[in-house]
Copies of this chain bind each other. A is one copy, B any other.
Amino acid sequence: MRLRRFAYAVMVSSWAPDARERLETAALDLFVENGYEETTVAQIADRAGLNRATFFRHFADKREVLFGGEDVLAGLFGDAIRAASPDATLTGCLQAALVAADVAMNPQQRAKAAQRVLVAAANSEVQERGLLKHARIARSISAALRERGADEITARLGAELGMLAFSIAVERWMGSDDDEPFVVHAAAALRELNTRAAQLDSRSRR
């Protein structure tokens, strides 16, 4: 254990550019190894070769270290919707948002996402924070749609549909054996949701 920590600290020593990412990686590893509750901020900082003060410069609390990517996503989604063609349909805006997210959905993120699912499954406080982040990303989508002139109900519907497509796509992307990029899963999920949204007044049975 001590040796491993030492090796890790050397590996990510001062030349390592990104303290934030080191802390995230160390935290996820420790949460999976020892449990979320049992892991302290001091242990996370130690594993990352940093100190507690550095941790708290990057994250408000222990839960927050799990959700750094969510703030990035909220920005990517909002920017992509604002940048979409003025003629874009609501679906087109959501599609643009999901395509923009693809840059954040690399193999390292896929591994981290799988670790996070494990941690969240065992801890309802983590689930709660995840839902708060989810709600913030949804608000970023609805705000961007409103800026384009969408009315309140359309903007909120778009945000829910976009987040549902995103969630379904992430689940499939994490669960699939092949290396299909995230954006392929996202496009499929959005298409399937659209088909069903057009048939709300069809019978609920198949």
Please give the residue numbers on chain A whose beta carbons come within 8 Å of chain B beta carbons, in ascending order.
86-93, 124, 127-129, 131-132, 134-135, 145, 148-151, 153-154, 156-158, 160-161, 164, 168, 189, 192-194, 196-206
Interface contact A203-B157, CB-CB below 8 Å: no
Q: Which of chain B's residues have a CB closer than 8 A to the CB of A149?
A: 204-206
User: Could you say which of B153, B193, B201 contacts A90, with CB atoms under 8 Å apart?
Assistant: B201
Interface contact B168-A201, CB-CB below 8 Å: no
Nearest opposing residue in chain B for A129, CB measure:
B128
This chain: copies in complex: 2
Classify the secondary structure of A's interface with B: helix
Bound state CA distance, A199 and B194, in angstroms?
10
Ranked 5 nearest A-B pairs via Cβ: A128-B128, A131-B131, A149-B205, A197-B197, A90-B204
Known: A91-B200, A204-B92. A193 touches B153 (CB 8 A): yes
